[in-house]
A and B are shown apart, each in its own frame.
Chain A
């Protein structure tokens, strides 16, 4: 299966600290996306990184992509309690419409 796997499965940090989550996948991709999910409901898109990009920033988010290792990381800087959520990576199957979602990292930011 191409399903991405996030690491760690769960992460608990203090407010103000940085949070790093990793995603590994198995087959070649064109694009990788990160999503956030609050309280087991709908997902919200955070950022998309293309296979020819190595790093991308959006506000307090920094995403890296290493296609040689088939891995990506999501860094949230200066975390806030409101960042508490599950974070998923999603990979396309070689550029198709079908994204495969990983199992997610549950982040808890303690105030």
Chain B
């Protein structure tokens, strides 16, 4: 596709359930980022993938959060045993090589609501 896509657009789940959020980066981009944005707040860095290197997981808020990137392309963010405080918009971005001077191209986000 022409841009970064994310699915689903919206997800409503019950507290305690697991959810999976998907991100399809721009073809050829080796760097992929996940962010979380709570209502009216800035972006909180979650995790970074670059090629075949070990991901930077330093932003994951708890061990209930995990992410993987298969084949250097599609990424899935999994939240286990969801809590109400997990409600937020989850944004994915990709960039060509993850360099500091590069533009990050964002997907439209997944709006997660945990009841």
Contact = CB atoms under 8 A, between A and B. Distances in A.
Q: Do A and B truly interact?
A: yes
B103 A43 contact: no
Q: Closest 3 CB pairs between A and B? A: A42-B106, A101-B43, A45-B103
Interface in A56-111: 88, 92, 95-104
B75 to A, nearest CB: 15
Nearest to B56: A98
Contacts of A101: 35, 42-43, 45
Interface residues of A, number: 26
6 contacts: A30-B100, A40-B109, A45-B105, A88-B42, A92-B100, A98-B48
Given A40-B89, A41-B109, A103-B42, 13 more contacts: A33-B103, A40-B37, A42-B4, A42-B107, A43-B43, A43-B93, A43-B106, A45-B105, A50-B101, A95-B100, A96-B100, A97-B98, A101-B42
Contact of B101 (A3, A4, A31, A104): A31
A88 B56 CA distance: 23
Interface in B69-115: 89, 91, 93, 95, 98-101, 103-109, 111
Interface of A: 3-4, 30-31, 33, 35, 40-45, 48, 50, 88, 92, 95-104
A11 to B, nearest CB: 15
Contacts of A97: 31, 48, 50, 95, 98-100
Contacts of A104: 41-42
Contacts of A4: 42
Interface in B8-64: 31, 35, 37, 41-43, 45, 48, 50, 56
Contacts of A88: 42-43
Contacts of A41: 89, 108-109
A102 B50 CA distance: 23
A23 to B, nearest CB: 11
B92 to A, nearest CB: 9
A37 to B, nearest CB: 8
